[in-house]
Amino acid sequence: MSSVELHGRAALVTGAARGIGRAAAAALAQAGASVALLDSDPAEVAATSRAVADQTGQRTLAIPTDVRVKIQMDRAVATTLAAFGQLDVFVANAGVWSHGLLTEVPEREWDRVFAVNLKGVLFGIQAVAPILKDQRRGKIVTIASAAGLNPSSAWSAYSISKTAVIALTQVAAGELAPFQVQANAICPGAVDTDLTQSITDQTGERFPHALPPAQVAAAVLAVVCPFEQTTTGEAILVSPEGTKIVSALGI
């Protein structure tokens, strides 16, 4: 990817302190974008922001944010716009995992998962959509999951939330298409992150073919660059074998 592919563009990434979010923020900056990094951990997102800036030479901004709180997402987007003067790319990555059968999942756990994994994406899209519509350009990329394409009963709340993220993304794609704004969902299999390690620690399940976060970040870049492309409404599976479109609106 050319370091000038996104020169003059600005991006915002949620869940950016570590894992996929950190890799996506670094990849976008490496491609030339200024990047706002959002995360609920103030110290870690600040450290990641500095590291990405040092690594890429691009402008970065750390914004501690709880994506479950609409006013915080609205404020983070406004802060990004004030700092960079524009916003072109939104990557909704923040997410949590849950283990348990559908017939047994406690209400509190269900609400916790959906508050981050679905409402967090909704609030982000609602915050950035007016800006992107006014500009008549923009990219929205959500990080769903292969589990959203092939739901697991053992991961009921998580799987269902990620299936809903795919549907939400495709609805956004249809709604925003008249404004030249594209929305696509990236659906990775297991990724080598702290989250995946926590799954192993809790369940004993191992993932010998876990993807490097950089492979998921590359899939994000593929639907963002070149910026003039109009790919939208797609759910894109990312696996050790590569990437594959598994669902599309046909817009």
Supply the residues annotated as catalytic. 158
One-letter identity of residue 21: G
Return d(Cα 8, Cα 221) in angstroms, integer: 16
Positive or negative: CA dihedral 6, 8, 9, 13: positive
Measured over the CA atoms of residue 238, residue 223, residue 22 and residue 17, the dihedral's sign is negative
CA distance 41 to 39: 5
CA atoms within 13 A on the CB side of 6: 30
The residues that bridge with 235 in the sheet, in sequence order, are: 185, 247
8 Å CB contact between 19 and 195: yes
